[in-house]
Copies of this chain bind each other. A is one copy, B any other.
Amino acid sequence: MPEIIDPNDFLPRYHQLANILREQISNGKLEAHQPIPSERQLEMIYSVSRTTIRQAIDLLVRQGFLYREHGRGTYVSPQKLQKGISELTSFTEDMKQRGLVPGQKILEIGYIQPPEKVRQHLELPEGSGQVLRIERIRLGDGVPMGLQTSFYGLTGEQTITQEELEEVGSIYRILQEKFHLIPTEADETLEVTLATPREASLLQIEPGSPLLLSERTTYSQYRRVIEFVKILYRGDRYRYLAKLTR
């Protein structure tokens, strides 16, 4: 069992400890509403300081695996609360989490003069130049799930070609590997609309069918806007999941 903490590991100790505990929870070695060893006990078991123990527990509490009760102990959360939903994910990751095979049909990719609303969401100054626009049908297990339109305020040199996109599949991976931009935060709104004839034919539904419209602004590690994305989801195939905390 690699259930000891290696000071020379490239992972920090609190991270190693969190992994060990998370593993025990997933294994079922620690059951729901059961207490884990106290912080002083963990200190001795793993030979790390209490600060490090607390860092590990903090992490697992934020991830929903544990909860604390002052004066009593730290306990395992029931399975239901442990799913990491409501995290910032790309469509690709979202589908995989749902157990579906992600896919896409690229309809159009190119530079356009952005509509006012898009320009504002990208936080570009008035009178800025063109932005990259990508329109795709998104598939889950080969079936149309939604119609996605994405906008990127990249400069002329920074660009993404249709070949790249078809090969890699995920724009997030391209942004990260090619431009070192890491999506870290996003604001999203959800509302209901009805399908226009064009949208309906692309999504293979009747015009006027209800759709779930998601509009998302994604920010980089530098808190600058990376992208503005609109997705029209088929109302009969897609359900949005969120996990809320106080």
Contact = CB atoms under 8 A, between A and B. Distances in A.
Contacts of A188: 241-244
A64 B88 CA distance: 15
B33 A240 contact: no
A162 interface: no
Interface stretch (A9-17, A37-45, A178-186): A178-186
A86 interface: yes
Contact of A235 (B83, B192, B245): B192
A185 to B, nearest CB: 5
Interface string A60-78: 0010100101000001011
Interface in A68-107: 69, 75, 77-78, 80-81, 83, 85-89
Given A185-B81, A210-B210, A190 B242 contact: yes
A204 interface: no
A194 interface: yes
Contacts of A113: none
A193 interface: yes
Given A223-B77, A244-B87, A239 B183 contact: no
14 contacts: A62-B62, A67-B222, A67-B223, A77-B223, A80-B217, A81-B219, A85-B187, A86-B244, A88-B244, A186-B244, A188-B241, A189-B241, A190-B190, A192-B211
